[in-house]
Amino acid sequence: MNVSTLIKQYFTSHSNDVAIDVFDEKNIYDVYQRVIETLTQHVNIETTLLQALNYCFYEILDNVLTHSGKELGIVITHYNPDEHILSMLVADDGRGIHSSLAENNKYATLTEPEALMMCIQDSVTDGKGMGFGLYSTSLLVRDAGLRFDIRSGSHTLRLQNGETTILQSDIWQGTIIYLKLQTDKEINPAEVVANRTNVAEQYNETFLNDIELKELW
């Protein structure tokens, strides 16, 4: 993967101030934990947003190893505390969403733009997962997102200002997930995961110590 190209395209004004992590099956949890722990240290990031992001971020990482056909993925993050904006990108150079969904006979005839539109729907999967990760991420973006791109092949699905559009884009062999979130906005994390799991409790138990928990309550 051409990391410098990704930085230039998605982190133009912060090219010298991004964090880059490469992950695989062996270190995926360590990378996930390190990124969320780093964000947790910023006291001006809303805890409710982190509770929801904690779930969505791991799901996006896991999607790479489960669906891309590749053993490695990359994470690029940048946080701007003055503007309360978190930018996060996860990319792979695997088979891409269109080819992945086509492994499920139910979606075998979809065009590439149709596959991108379907991948953020609930329970849409190639058969190797639950089809909930990108759907829940789309709900996070609905509540606290400034922009959400899913780029794969020669198209990009973009969620922005409450609208979903499909754009023609330069070809990317694989999948790029790009999130831009407003971090000072309080949300309901349970709604992001459609009340299917207790993401608040999961985040609190993993990333907040007892003293911090008492302060929250």
- In this structure, are residues 39 and 31 in contact, taking their beta carbons and an 8 Å threshold? no
Count CA atoms closer than 13 A to 164's CA, side-chain side.
14
Query: β-strand 73-80 against 19-23: which pairing, if any?
Result: antiparallel
What pLDDT is stored for residue 213 in this prediction? 47
- In this structure, are residues 70 and 89 in contact, taking their beta carbons and an 8 Å threshold? no
51-65 per-residue burial string, b: 16 or more CB within 10 A, e: under 16 = bbbbbbbbbbbbbbb
What residues contact residue 92 under an 8 Å CB cut-off, 6+ apart?
A: 1, 64, 68, 70, 72, 73, 74, 174, 175
Domain residue spans in the chain?
21-209
Per-residue CA distances from 157 to 22, 82, 98, 139 (Å): 24, 28, 12, 15
Start-to-end CA span in the chain (Å): 44
Q: Which amino acid is at 94?
A: G
Q: What pLDDT tens digit does each residue of the chain (217 aa) get?
A: 789 999 999 998 887 899 999 999 999 999 999 999 999 999 999 999 999 999 999 999 999 999 999 999 999 999 999 999 999 999 999 999 999 999 999 999 999 999 999 999 999 998 888 888 999 999 999 999 999 999 999 999 999 998 999 999 999 999 999 999 999 999 999 999 999 999 999 999 999 875 454 454 4
Q: Which CATH superfamily is domain 21-209 in?
A: Histidine kinase-like ATPase, C-terminal domain (3.30.565.10)
Bridge partners for 87 per DSSP: 78, 180
What pLDDT is stored for residue 217 in this prediction? 46
The whole-angstrom separation of Cα 115 and Cα 45 is: 33
- In this structure, are residues 180 and 145 in contact, taking their beta carbons and an 8 Å threshold? yes
The pTM assigned to this predicted structure is 0.93
- In this structure, are residues 39 and 45 in contact, taking their beta carbons and an 8 Å threshold? yes
